Structure 1
Amino acid sequence: MKKVVILFAFIFTSTVVLAQKSDEIIGKWLNKDKEAHLQIYKKGNKYYGKLAWLKNPNDESGQPKKDSKNPSGELKGRPLLGLEILKGFEYKNGTWEDGTIYDPKSGKTYSCKMTLDGKNKLNVRGYVGISLIGRTEVFTRVD
């Protein structure tokens, strides 16, 4: 009986520590160009991110910027502010992976994985096919 209690305590503690580690990514992040804040959050067991702040939220006519580069005509009119650009990430051994990132500047969606470098730097790697063929950008945590 003692062994069962100890085993249960170990499993419970391991699960709590893993959940805390996987949730370290949650929060606001500033992109490398300092043009946008990305709010990362959790839905179920997956992680998502949306544009929470834009340095220049309006176009030349003073209207909110739209997703004008989107290849889908029906999505071109949606506002950029609040747009979910990170989708479906799962935490695996220190990496958030198996998700996608949408680039509103090009209208393209890429495979993506993310890793933390300390508590305040987030490496976001977008790629096509395999992660060797891609680009990494470093985001910094917003207080």
Structure 2
Amino acid sequence: MPRPHRLVPLLAWALALPAFAASPDDAKGQWLTAEKDAVIEFKACADKPGALCGHIVWDKDAGQPNDTCGVQIARLERYENEAWRDGWVFDPRDGKKYKGALRVKSGDLHIRAYIGTEILGQTEQLRRVTALPASPVCKR
């Protein structure tokens, strides 16, 4: 039988777990793509404050013909089980919309795009940034 003094740290750790649970606001902010070629800002949708929308706010190709500044890449309707769900994500590389899920894990944002069921999808991991790169500047 475990000694009581050994259970105290374990019990304290277990009680602290809920404090680290993800919240819907964890995804809000600016995130740099894995390729470091764009920054996406996630915030409440202007037309539906309970939903989460993502727009490209910095693109390494700003001002070029393939500029994606201002493109909306996500709209997720609800937050459940530590993930934003029930919506879509747009991949500007292939010009297609997919079902989507978005969650924050270990400080990184994971965007999952899929057709049919989430388990068959593909995930992109983004890192939070506190400021946009100085140039080029999106004009939209």
Is 1:24 equivalent to 2:23 in the alignment? no
Is 1:97 equivalent to 2:85 in the alignment? yes
Stretches of structure 2 that go unaligned for 5 or more consecutive residues are 1-18, 131-140
Is 1:131 equivalent to 2:109 in the alignment? no
**Which one of 116, 119, 133 corresponds to residue 104 of structure 2?**
116
Q: Which amino acid aligns with 1:40?
A: F
Q: Please, what is the CA RMSD of the aligned residues?
A: 1.8
Per-residue CA shift, 1:58-117, capped at 9, x if unaligned? 33xxx5x35xxxxxxxxxxxxx20111101331112111112111111111000101111
Equivalent in the alignment of 2:38: 36
Is 1:51 equivalent to 2:61 in the alignment? no
TM-score (norm. length: structure 1): 0.69
Q: Which amino acid aligns with 2:60?
A: K
TM-score (norm. length: structure 2): 0.70
**1:132 aligns to what SS in structure 2?**
helix
**2:116 aligns to what SS in structure 1?**
coil
Stretches of structure 1 that go unaligned for 5 or more consecutive residues are 1-16, 67-79
- Tell me, yes or no, if the aligned pair for 2:76 and 2:100 is still in contact at 8 Å: no
* Percent sequence identity over aligned pairs: 28
User: What is the 5 A alignment of 1:76-87?
Assistant: 80-87=68-75
